[in-house]
Amino acid sequence: MALSITETCINCAACEPECPNQAIYEPGMEWSMAEGTSLEGTVTLMNGEEVDADEMQEPLSDDFYFIVPDKCTECKGFHDEEQCLAFCPVPECIIVHPEHDETEDALLERQTFLHEA
């Protein structure tokens, strides 16, 4: 399951440096699939979508820190627990993304996709 940051976020920035996939960005910041991963050039995401990994994308939130679902592996392959959850000081601020309920196998597959391309 990819995780998602809710509007209870206080923009403290504690989570951002802890993500092993660089899936967390500050409000209003452009992001790319290539940052923090080994992806480059045209890649096909696990949902079949073709994207330019190096292209900068529009921020997912201008108000709160946000998590890019296609880069979140729930920390599988790196840590035993989700680092953003572990470091966030606000209870229940970070939740399971309602549209990204994924199996452990799918998350491990994403981790391989992101870092061993």
The nearer residue to ligand SF4, 27 or 54, going by C-beta atoms, is: 27
Is residue 107 part of the contact set for ligand SF4 (CB under 6 A)? no
The nearer residue to ligand SF4, 9 or 42, going by C-beta atoms, is: 9
* SS3 state at 42: strand
Q: Which among 19, 20, 23 is positioned nearest to 33, based on CA atoms? A: 23
DSSP structural state of residue 62: S
Is residue 90 part of the contact set for ligand SF4 (CB under 6 A)? yes
Q: Which amino acid is at 111?
A: Q
Name the residues that contact ligand SF4, by CB under 6 A.
3, 5, 9-15, 18-21, 23-24, 65, 67, 72-75, 82-84, 87-88, 90, 93-94
